Structure 1
Amino acid sequence: MDERETRERRSASVEARREVPTRATRAAEGHRADLMVRYLQAMASHSARAATKDATASAGPAHIRRAGRAGHGSVPVTDLQVRDIMKRPVTGIRADTSFLDIARMLARRQTGAAPVVDGERHVIGVIAESDLLAKAASLAAAERPGALAGLLHRCSHGGGDETAATLMTAPALTVQPGTLVVEAARTAAHSRIRQLFVTDYQGRLVGVVSRSELLQALVRDDAAIRAEVVARVIEGGFGLDAAAVHVEVENGTVTLAGSLNAARIPQLIGAVAQIADVVEVEDHLVATA
């Protein structure tokens, strides 16, 4: 990987990590999607050049190690699948669910969209808040000002014929448990949707993953980087006690402090710099004889 690609990967990684808030705001959704695409493009650019069978154990960005599936050990990020990060259960909406019941359901779940399913839980469409708002606006336009409450009242008493089947967007954009996280992230980013519903090979609903969960799976936080520096480099590679070198990580920049043999300092810095998602290494080490 040349110097330009290294700068590109590190820059995209830093920006993506900074855009992983504990609570996403609506205003940031489009910006975060763009950042995800940039990060994935940088990662893919490197992967296309570096991915070989012999490189599976590499510390490069194409082989970030994650907590693996049960019985499978650690999993490279290029092999990470949707099933590895899918945690939240999801309930589908029946096609005959009324307009008002759908609105109440989305508000109660605090989610922007829900899958529409048939009697066998096959996903036949997706209904989002935007679908409800568009329909409400078009119906209210034909009423006198302030008549939306009356419209909702008629819907709740069976007077309206709007249901999930008539309001949903179809076909639904879904992924399967075996879909690679990298591919699912690209799909979510390019389609600008907040969550992807997961179906089995027969199209039946089994779960959901959000765009934030996909991004979190691809971009490690500072604590995870520090843990790898200590375990894989300081303890594993150099055989040092974890307390021998003080390690701090902030926004991908690793600061090393402590005392170490002068000949080993450049080696340690070089090894830490090869850790995936490390942006820079600051040397505060004191050389000893």
Structure 2
Amino acid sequence: MKHPRTVDDVMTHAVVSARLDAPVKEIVQSMRRWGVSAVPVLSAEGRVVGVVSEADILVKVPGEDSVGSVTAGSLMSAPAVTVSRGATIAGAARLMGRGRLKRLPVVDEDGRPVGVVSRGDLLKVYLRSDAEVAEDVRHELLTHLIPEGDTALTVRVADGAVTLTGRLPESVSTDLALRLARAVPGVVDAAAEFTTA
């Protein structure tokens, strides 16, 4: 994986969903068939209006006698927490953390599903090689902070931990350089040993 920045870079593009009137049995069959633990529920217009999870089914279905009459619309958690495909990986992770969610439906501008992003998808950025992470950090710093032609910057990465050394222009703070480095997907920590220009 190279240069992941947004949810679109890591999400699963296939979406398993349910209609509002889908019965419990159909939802469970879809979950089992596709190996997912939750499905977005779609309105008649195809917009995500809620999510049905395994927990929703286990907690809200009163018993076997009522399974045939319970639908996605009565089981779903609503409104659905969704994310746009252009959202940052860090932003999606914060959204999941706040809601204690395992996955988020990814929607287009009209609220229609275009994918699903899971915790596992977001963790893929930590599988990137140190060389890829170093290249991205160097690119960010040279693009946003370091004047063209001033390449007295060294970026070392070991197991996702970044160390910045070299010369930093007087107009640029070390804190800003570290913030930019830490924002690169796959960076777990950053430290700097700069000299000023």
Structure-2-length-normalised TM-score? 0.65
Q: Could you tell me how far apart the structure 2 residues matched to 1:127 and 1:116 are?
A: 7
Which residue does 2:32 correspond to in 1? 107
Match of 2:54 among 117, 129, 134: 129
Which residue does 2:105 correspond to in 1? 197
Q: Which runs of 5+ in 2 are unaligned?
A: 139-150, 167-177, 191-197
Q: Could you tell me how far apart the structure 2 residues matched to 1:115 and 1:230 are?
A: 37
Which residue does 1:89 correspond to in 2? 14
1:167 and 2:69 are equivalent in the alignment? no
1:120 and 2:35 are equivalent in the alignment? no
Residues 1:128 and 1:228: Cα distance change in structure 2 (over 3 Å):
closer
Give the RMSD, CA atoms, in angstroms.
Answer: 3.4
Identity %: 33
Contact 2:16–2:30 at 8 Å: present in 1 too?
no
Residues 1:270 and 1:214: Cα distance change in structure 2 (over 3 Å):
same
Which residue does 1:5 correspond to in 2? none
Which residue does 1:224 correspond to in 2? 129
**Counting strand residues as a fraction of each chain, which structure ranks higher?**
2
Contact 1:124–1:172 at 8 Å: present in 2 too?
yes
Deviations 1:232-273 (A, max 9, x none): 7xxxx79xxxxxxxx995x4479xxxxxxxxxxxxx9946xx
Partner of 1:178: helix, strand, or coil? coil
Residues 1:111 and 1:279: Cα distance change in structure 2 (over 3 Å):
same
Q: Could you tell me how far apart the structure 2 residues matched to 1:162 and 1:99 are?
A: 6
Q: Could you tell me how far apart the structure 1 residues matched to 2:157 and 2:91 are?
A: 32
Q: Could you tell me how far apart the structure 1 residues matched to 2:100 and 2:37 are?
A: 13
Deviation at 1:87, TM superposition (A): 3.6
What residue identity is the alignment partner of 2:80?
Answer: A
Q: Whose radius of gyration is greater, 1 or 2?
A: 1
Which residue does 2:195 correspond to in 1? none
Count of residue pairs brought into register by the alignment: 157
User: What does residue range 189-268 of structure 1 map to in structure 2 within 5 Å?
Assistant: 189-217=97-125, 220-221=126-127, 224-227=129-132, 251-252=159-160
Deviation at 1:227, TM superposition (A): 5.0
Q: Which runs of 5+ in 1 are unaligned?
A: 1-65, 69-79, 141-147, 239-246, 255-267, 281-289
Partner of 1:133: helix, strand, or coil? helix
Contact 2:134–2:157 at 8 Å: present in 1 too?
no
Q: Could you tell me how far apart the structure 1 residues matched to 2:164 and 2:76 are?
A: 55
Which residue does 2:3 correspond to in 1? 67
Q: Could you tell me how far apart the structure 1 residues matched to 2:100 and 2:114 are?
A: 22
Deviation at 1:86, TM superposition (A): 2.5
Deviation at 1:120, TM superposition (A): 2.4
What residue identity is the alignment partner of 2:71?
Answer: T
Partner of 2:95: helix, strand, or coil? helix
Residues 1:105 and 1:228: Cα distance change in structure 2 (over 3 Å):
closer
Contact 1:225–1:278 at 8 Å: present in 2 too?
no
Structure-1-length-normalised TM-score? 0.46
Partner of 2:129: helix, strand, or coil? helix
Q: Could you tell me how far apart the structure 1 residues matched to 2:188 and 2:7 are?
A: 25
